[in-house]
């Protein structure tokens, strides 16, 4: 997680086609998120932005994929929240290498 221009950037590891959309925990230095959408035509990117916006209590347009639109590893920018507010809403799980 890093801050750039007042916005929080999260490193995300996505697992598409899961049975449930959820934050699993930490996968190394990235937050692992399972998504029900397939990685086709940007559906997984749309779902992760909507899911994280809801989870962190911001509007959907305040969450965007900065890099990794075609892969599992992504950098996501969240506007309107501080690092402390983001950390307070993240699971306090240990690294889970799954």
Which CATH number fits the domain that encloses residue 18? 3.30.1200.10
Decide if 12 is inside a domain: yes
Angle, CA 7 vertex, CA 52 and CA 49 arms, to 5°? 20
Cβ burial, residue 8 (10 Å; 0-12/13-18/19+)? buried
15, part of any domain: yes
Q: Which two tokens stand for residue 7?
A: 């916005």
Beta-strand relationship, 2-4 and 22-27: unpaired
Domain count, the chain: 1
Decide if 94 is inside a domain. no
Say what the pLDDT of residue 96 is: 44
Residue 23 lies in a domain: yes
Is 75 contained in some domain? yes
Is residue 26 within a helix (H) or strand (E), and if so which, with residue range? Answer: strand 22-27
In this prediction, the residues of the chain whose per-residue pLDDT falls under 70 are 91-98
Print the domain residue range for 71: 2-86
What pLDDT score was predicted for residue 98? 42
Assess if residue 74 is contained within a domain. Answer: yes
- The answer as to whether 13 is a domain residue is yes
């Amino acid at each position: 997680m890093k801050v750039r221009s007042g916005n929080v950037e999260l490193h995300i590891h996505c697992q598409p086609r899961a049975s449930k959309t959820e934050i699993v925990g930490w996968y190394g230095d990235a937050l692992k998120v399972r998504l029900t959408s397939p990685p086709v035509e940007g559906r997984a990117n749309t779902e992760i932005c909507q899911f994280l916006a809801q989870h962190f209590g911001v509007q959907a347009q305040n969450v965007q994929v900065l890099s990794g639109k075609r892969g599992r590893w992504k950098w996501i920018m969240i506007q309107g929240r501080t690092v402390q507010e983001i950390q307070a809403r993240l699971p306090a799980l240990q690294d889970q290498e799954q």
